[in-house]
């Protein structure tokens, strides 16, 4: 199978992470221009008393730099080991989609149980992706 098939969801999730970073910057600059926050409010990243509209994109951006690291690793591993299957590609796109859903919930209405459902499902998909790639890598031994 073509290696780019598995790299497309990797690039999509990286682009989404960049979009959340831009949202974070936009909201911070806007709040600063409106004099609702000061520069020193961000010296520790997340500070008590900041409005949710500033805290949530920051937290979501951090989320996109945590567990998705394992997604990037397994996808690159699959590419280098020739372990790309249609199932792995479908799981990678599903993972990416669920992370986008998680982000959208997080930075908009932020209903915890909805966000948790997207998060938990994405983790299950990621674990399954690791199993599928592991079977491809070690299955012939």
Q: Please report which confidence band the pLDDT of residue 140 belongs to, taking 50, 70 and 90 as the band edges.
A: low
Which DSSP letter does residue 46 get?
A: S
Question: Domain 4-138: which topology?
Answer: 1.20.120
- Asked if 70 contacts 115 with a C-beta cutoff of 8 angstroms, the reply is no
Tokens coding 19: 């979009």
The model carries a pTM of: 0.93
CA–CA separation, 22 and 10 (whole Å)? 19
Dump pLDDT digits (tens) for 71-123.
Answer: 999 999 999 999 999 999 999 999 999 999 999 999 999 999 999 999 999 99
- Asked if 20 contacts 54 with a C-beta cutoff of 8 angstroms, the reply is no
Give the residue extent of every domain in the chain: 4-138
Residue in 16, 10, 13, 15 with CA at minimum distance from that of residue 74 = 10
Tokens coding 117: 């459902």
């Amino acid at each position: 199978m073509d290696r780019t098939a598995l790299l497309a969801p990797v690039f999509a999730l990286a682009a989404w992470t960049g979009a959340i970073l831009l949202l974070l910057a936009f909201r911070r600059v806007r709040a600063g221009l409106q004099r609702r926050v000061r520069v020193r409010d961000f010296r520790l990243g997340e500070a008590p008393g900041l409005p949710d509209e500033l805290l949530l994109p920051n937290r979501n951006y951090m989320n996109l730099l945590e567990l998705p690291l394992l997604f990037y690793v397994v996808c690159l591993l699959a590419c280098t080991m020739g372990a790309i299957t249609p199932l792995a590609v479908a799981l990678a796109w599903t993972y990416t989609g669920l992370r986008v859903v998680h982000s959208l919930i997080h930075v908009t209405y932020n209903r915890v149980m909805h966000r948790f459902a997207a998060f938990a499902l994405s983790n299950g998909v990621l674990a399954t992706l690791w199993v599928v790639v592991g079977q491809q890598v070690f299955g012939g031994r």
